[in-house]
Amino acid sequence: MVIQLQTSFTPRKSPIIGPSRLGMGTHGVNLLAIFSLVIFTIAVGLSIAVFFYKSHFISVISDMDAELAKAKKSFEPTFIEEASRLNARISGTQELLNHHLALSPLFDVLEHKTLGSVRFQDFNFSVADEESPSISMTGQAKSFNAVALQSDVFGGETSFKDPVFSNFSLNDDGDVVFNFQTTIDPKLLLYRETILGASDAEKADTASSKTGTVPTFDGGGDGTI
> What percent of the chain lies above the pLDDT cut of 90?
21
Residue 173 lies in a domain: yes
When comparing pLDDT for 118 and 79, which is higher? Answer: 118
What digits encode the pLDDT tens for the residues 105-130?
888 899 999 999 999 988 998 887 66
pLDDT of 143 strictly over 70: yes
pLDDT in tens, 158-183: 889 989 999 999 998 889 999 999 99
Question: Domain for residue 198, yes or no?
Answer: yes
Whether residue 28 lies inside any domain: the answer is: no
Q: How confident is the model at residue 3 (pLDDT cuts 50, 70, 90)?
A: low
Q: What is the CATH number of the domain that holds 123?
A: 3.30.70.2830
Quote the CA–CA distance of 58 and 66 in Å, as a whole number: 12
Compute how many other C-beta atoms are within 10 angstroms of the C-beta atom of residue 67: 10
44 domain-assigned: no
Q: For residue 125, what are the CA distances in angstroms to 28, 107, 115, 164?
A: 102, 11, 21, 15
Give the mean model confidence (pLDDT) for residues 53-75. Answer: 80
The pLDDT score that the predictor gives to residue 62 is 84
Residue 44 banded pLDDT, cuts 50, 70, 90: confident
Residue 162 in contact with residue 183, Cβ under 8 Å?
A: yes
Q: Considering the domain boundaries, does residue 223 fall inside one?
A: no
Write the pLDDT tens digit of every residue in 188-220: 888 766 666 554 444 444 544 444 443 333 444
Task: Tell me the range of 3-7, 47-51, 76-80, 89-93 where mean pLDDT is highest.
Answer: 47-51
* Structural domain includes residue 70: no
**Residue 103: what pLDDT?**
83
CA–CA distance, 199 with 206 (Å, rounded to integer): 11
Please indicate, yes or no, if residue 58 is contained in any of the structural domains.
no
pLDDT band at 59 (very low <50, low <70, confident <90, very high): confident
Q: Which domain holds residue 193?
A: 104-204
pTM equals: 0.47
Q: How many domains, the chain?
A: 1
Whether 26 is covered by a domain: the verdict is no
